Amino acid sequence: MTICGSKNLNTYIVEQNYSKNNRTFCETDNTGIAGEIPNKLFTCLEKLKVLYLSKNKITHVPNFCNSFGKSSVPNLEELHLQFTSISKLQNKSLICLSSLRVLDLGNNLLRDIPVFCGNKLSGWNVSVFKNLSNLVSLRLDNNRISTLNKTSIPPDILNNLQTLTLAYNPFDCGCDLIWFKNWCQETNVTLLNFPDRYACTTPPKMLRKPILTLSLTPEDCKEKNPWIVIVISTSASAIFLIIVSIMISVNLPTIKNVIYYYRLKSRGYVRLLNEQEFKYDAYVVYCEADEKWVLRKLVPQLEAREIRLCIPDREFVVGAERCSEIEDAFKESKKILVVLSNEFVKNEWCLWQNNLVEERIRQRGESTVVFLLFKTINSKNMISSVHRTLKKRSVITWNEGSALESMFWKVVLLALEAPFGEPPLSVLEE
């Protein structure tokens, strides 16, 4: 390819598959230019005003500075570089083009050009445009530009433009695009194809949405002090753990009852054919202080479900020797139902019966006894046998309230109906 004409040439077109020759055009071959353009190619074109280098596989904008640092095309006003392979603007690419008025680094989407689909331009150094004080038209459409901030183009150059297009670029609609979105809404510069062709590509939730839908504000994007984030996160985690701990502590009896119930439920209930016939389903051991709850709450609930209970004051013969009556009742009862409370461990008569309970467990196993905790037992009143029971054995805890009571009665009933040989072993270690 050769440059023809004279130093008076004012328009030079080098486009692939394009050639034309008249007084103001220079003829070239049809293969176009590939790679980098030599720096000396334009040294004889001092009066050149318009230069077309579109549809060439050039990778860099030519260096228009001569060996003395002066512009080799001092009068160039229009530079067209659509449909090239330019991926980056070098720092000195445009430094010697102070007369430039039109810079086109986009493409013409109305043409059918099968070889190229647009420039690959994605970014540039902040000093690239600083000498283009006469620039009035800038095309950067259909590139790979994801953001534009206030330092991308010097403000005096940007605001001096008459037209600007950045359409069909894959904008990243995050914090870095807030400034450009606001500028687009406030500027007097004509933005070609705005806002319809200015759409987000990332993040995924913003895909294909106009950049004007970006709702982030500068306050949203302020960098958070990492120590504040750490302190807040740690505090939130600590508070959460405390709340969970408190909830578990408060609801531990209920949790135990639920576990107890589902363990029993999973075992199922099959009445044994060779099981001894008993006069009572359960003998109730309780202290006088808890008699009101036992007689008004416990007994009606269980007997309504056809559980045969032996209540000492109701079943024993008046005037009979009490110890013998209790021992006989133990033998005639399938299960022993023990109602534990703070008053229970302070009552010597109750503790004597508790010794019988321990003996029964040793002889027949834990499945023959069901423990109910009616009221919490103070540590100062705790004795070793009761402490062992609370620590290592299944204990059903009384909870007042519709849902909690319902679960309590279900567990008690299931425990009483469970046959020997399938003891309710749902011990939750505290």
Domain limits of the chain?
A: 245-417
CA distance 256 to 369: 17
d(CA 50, CA 11): 5
Residue 129 CA to residue 93 CA, distance in Å, equals 9
- Beta-carbon contacts of 289 under 8 Å, excluding residues fewer than 6 positions away, are 341, 343, 347
Q: What are phi and psi of 99, to 5 degrees?
A: -90, -5
Q: How far apart are alpha carbons 167 and 334 in whole angstroms? A: 87
- 393: its two tokens: 């054995």
Whole-angstrom Cα distance, residue 427 to residue 430? 9
67-106 pLDDT per residue, tens = 667 888 888 899 888 888 777 777 777 888 889 999 998 8
What stretch of H or E contains 258?
A: helix 226-267
Which residues lie closer than 8 Å to 247 by C-beta, 6 or more apart? none
How confident is the model at residue 261, as a pLDDT?
A: 58
Residue listed under structure tokens 């902040």: 126
Residue 45's contacts (CB-CB under 8 Å, 6 or more residues apart) are 3, 7, 9, 12, 72, 73
pLDDT < 70 positions in the chain? 1-9, 12, 14-41, 67-68, 107-123, 224-225, 229, 247-276, 402, 420-430
pLDDT score recorded for residue 111: 31
Q: Which residues lie closer than 8 Å to 285 by C-beta, 6 or more apart?
A: 336, 337, 338, 339, 350, 353, 354, 357
* Nearest-5° Cα angle at 180, 175 to 181: 85
Q: How high is the pLDDT of residue 263?
A: 59
Residues in the chain: 430
CB 425 within 8 A of CB 361: no
Per-residue pLDDT, 117: 43
**Amino acid letter at 410?**
K
Which of the following CATH numbers is that of domain 245-417: 3.40.50.720, 3.40.50.10140, 3.40.50.360, 3.40.50.300?
3.40.50.10140
Reduced to 3 states (helix: H, G, I; strand: E, B; else coil), residue 264 is helix
C-alpha distances (whole Å) from 243 to each of 154, 240, 254 are 55, 5, 17
* Beta pairing partners, 397: 373
DSSP-based three-state secondary structure for 285 = strand
Tally: H helices and E strands in the chain: 11, 18
- At 44, the amino acid letter reads C
pLDDT for the residue numbered 36: 61
Rg, C-alpha atoms of the chain: 46
What's the pLDDT score for residue 123? 65
Residue 75 · residue 48 · CB < 8 Å = yes
